[in-house]
Structures are given as C-alpha cells and as structure tokens.
Amino acid sequence: MRRAALRFCTLSKGLLAPSRGLTQGSQNPEKERIFHINEVRAKLREIVGASTNWRDHVKAMEERKLLSSFLAESQKALPSRRMKDSYIEVLLPLGSQPDLREKYLTVQNTVRFGRILEDLDSLGVLICYTHTKIHSVKMSPLSIVTALVDKIDMCKKSLSPEQDIKFSGHVSWVGNTSMEVKMQMFQLHDNEFFPVLGATFVMVARDSENKRPAFVNPLILESPEEEELFRQGELNKGRRVAFSSASLLKMAPTAEERTSIHDLFLSTLDPKTISFRSRVLPPNAVWMENSKLKSLDICHPQERNIFNRIFGGFLMRKAYELGWATACNFGGSRPFIVAVDDIMFQKPVEVGSLLFLSSQVCFTQENYIQVRVHSEVASLRDKEHMTTNVFHFTFMSEKEVPLVFPRTYGESMLYLDGQRHFNSMHLPVTLK
C-alpha cells in the first residue's frame, strides 16, 4: 500500500501517463484551451440553465422538466465517448493573479485545502457533463451530482499560495448511470508543473428533475493504459461493495479485531483493583470521548449548487476544516492532510437547513491522526436530524501524537472503523 503511494508521489511532470496523451488528437478548440477556475461554475450554470438569482430558481427548475424528452431510453442509444473527449484542464492562477489569493490563503501562508475540495467537486461535475454532452441541445437533460469521494491522496505537506495551480481530469470508468472521474492537481515550480494531489470521484446521472437515474454514454478504450484505468475502476467498485458488506454496522468485528479491542480494554484496567469498572489511561493516551469538536452552520442560498441544493464542495470544506481543527487540538501541533477517503453523499442538503457537524479522533498511530466527521441536518420546521455524510480524513502531525482509547463498545466500533480506513489508505512514507 505505502509503496503504491510512494510511486504516486515520485511521478514527475505528469500524474497519469494516459492523461497527458488524452489531449492529443482533440479536434475541439474549446477543449484545447485551459479554463480559468472562475469559468467552471459559470459553465455549469450554463449547461443546466441555472439562474444566478435565487428568486428565479423555481422557474429555472420548471423549465428543465421540458428536457426530459432528450433522455435516452437505454445506454445503447447513446454514442460512445473516448476518455480524451472529457479531458479538461483548469488553471487556478494564484501566482499570476494575486487578487484570487486571499480566498485560498491560510494564516500559515499556505493554500486552504477546503477550497481545493470545492474546486475538485465542481471540476468533477463539469468533466461528466463534457462526457455526456448532447451537441444538438444547449442545455443538458441530465442532473449530475457527486455520489462519492472514493479517495484523495496528497504527496506534499502544504501548497504555496504564490504559485499557480493546475487541475486536470477525465472520465476513467462508466457504469449504466454512474461515472468515475480521475483528477490530478499540479503546482508550478521552476516553470514546470509538478503533481501534488490525485483524486477519484464517483458521479451519478439523474433525470432533468433529479428524481430517477439516467443513462450515460459508454466509454471507448483506445490504449492499454486506458484499459488499465477502466479495470481499476471496476476494482474500485468491487472494493467499495466489499468494504460496505463488511461494515461494522452490518457485521461483527473479525477475530483479530476483537482481540485487539480486548487488549486495549485490559491495558486500561487499574492494576490496584480487581474490577472491570476501574479504568485508567496508560501514559501518553487520551479517552476518545475527549477528542470531540462540534459546529453548527445555517445553509444559506449563497452556498447552493446548480440544482438549488447545498453545494457538496461546501459540505466537504466545512467538514475538513472542523476535522483539521480536531486534529490540531488533539495533536498539539499543526496537522497536514494526507488522505481523504470514502465520503458518501447519502442525502442532499436543502437550502435553509441547519447543518450539524461532529468531529472525533477515532484512531492514531505514531504521528498519524484518523478523524471522522459526522454530518447531519435538521430543517427549521422540525427537529428531526438526518445523517447526510460521514467524512474520513487522515492527518499527519509534526510530532508523535497520543494514543486514543475507546471507553465504550460504540467507541470501540468507531476505533476499528477508523483503523480500517487508516489501513486502506495509500499513505506516503514521507510528504515533501
């Protein structure tokens, strides 16, 4: 696992070799140019006919209903597309346009990773709309939304806010109604762009009213490299199904996991008493219940997406920033994001909702901190809370961090779940 990530980090000038060749042979002048980051959201609004005025959103959504006649009745009815047909490059000119910098700046003079998550989410959706474009229609009849952030791997501790950043990506796998998107991020150094991040998102297509699944264009594979990317997409799908089937919400822990939890329990028993109730922490350890942070946000129209629900990138940014604060508070030093894993968008968040985020350290090892952020919403009309997302972040601290110990059975399951996510990460040996 760790060797795979090390290979990722040592790639120079290009992250995925096929991606570099995807632009070759493109006959579309628009595809050959690089989009500015500010053009991405504007392009998405144009594709779906979304209004920039909140008061007009109902009318705009009514007009989209008329597009349902353009939906395909089967995948076979849609033309096949190549990977290079969806390839897009986007420039975030932090160095050449300093006026953009403040939005992305941290107090440590680095780039806000939460903002990068927002940009990746928007880019992923635009890539999928490019793959499914109907050339005879100005607006797309599809509603494409983020279903899952499968994995994001970092290979650099922090990003400079004074150098340009470039994103690129394309569709790498398709099902009947879903698409996997591979994206990369590069930063300029000595007049060359070097890789700093790789991401895999899964998007789903729905009808123009966002009520039922809709078919997407099949994919043509033109090289062994593309066949390998597609095969990896199939493996990713199988891995997600297996991981879900073995979830601790469905299945008991393995024998090895049960033993490790019992060992943790025994290590916290007070040797001075012969009692299961008398618990003491070992040296350099913290009870899991003492590692929590919480936040509350009101979801204003400003944070809506093109379908007038709350933008998934906004949810990721808020969850990440709370997770970062949790890791910082726990470790006592500045943490660096290493990986983001398995963010499932279970339920859309409506404008006007109350967004409750609860963050907790659930596993630690050496200087790594595994943080779980639980997201739930409640409407202003009722008090019922509903889970919308669970986020998993792996941070690396500047120094070794305390061990975290569960006290209850529920916390023990959180500990094991955190350990599973940590062990599934392609953790780099060292971050640059």
Q: Which residue type occupies 282?
A: P
Give the model confidence (pLDDT) of 303-330 as tens digits: 777 777 788 888 889 999 999 999 999 9
CB-CB contact of 340 with 327 (8 Å): no
- Who's near 323: CB < 8 A, 6+ residues apart? 359, 371, 373, 391, 393, 395
59: confidence class by pLDDT, cuts 50, 70, 90: low
pLDDT of 364 over the 90 cut: yes
The helix (run of H) or strand (run of E) holding residue 98 is none
Q: What is the C-alpha separation between 390 and 420, in angstroms, rounded?
A: 15
Over residues 380-389, mean pLDDT: 82
pLDDT of 3 over the 60 cut: no
Q: What is the C-alpha separation between 287 and 285, in angstroms, rounded?
A: 7
pTM above 0.75, yes or no: yes
32: confidence class by pLDDT, cuts 50, 70, 90: low
pLDDT of 200 over the 90 cut: yes
pLDDT of 14 over the 50 cut: no
Rounded to 5°, the CA angle 89-100-90 comes to: 5
Q: What is the C-alpha separation between 2 and 430, in angstroms, rounded?
A: 10
pLDDT of 153 over the 80 cut: yes
Helix (H, G, I), strand (E, B) or coil at 236: helix
Q: Which residues pair with 82 in a beta bridge?
A: 220
For residue 45, the model assigns a pLDDT of 83
For residue 432, the model assigns a pLDDT of 52
Question: Residue holding tokens 């990138």?
Answer: 313
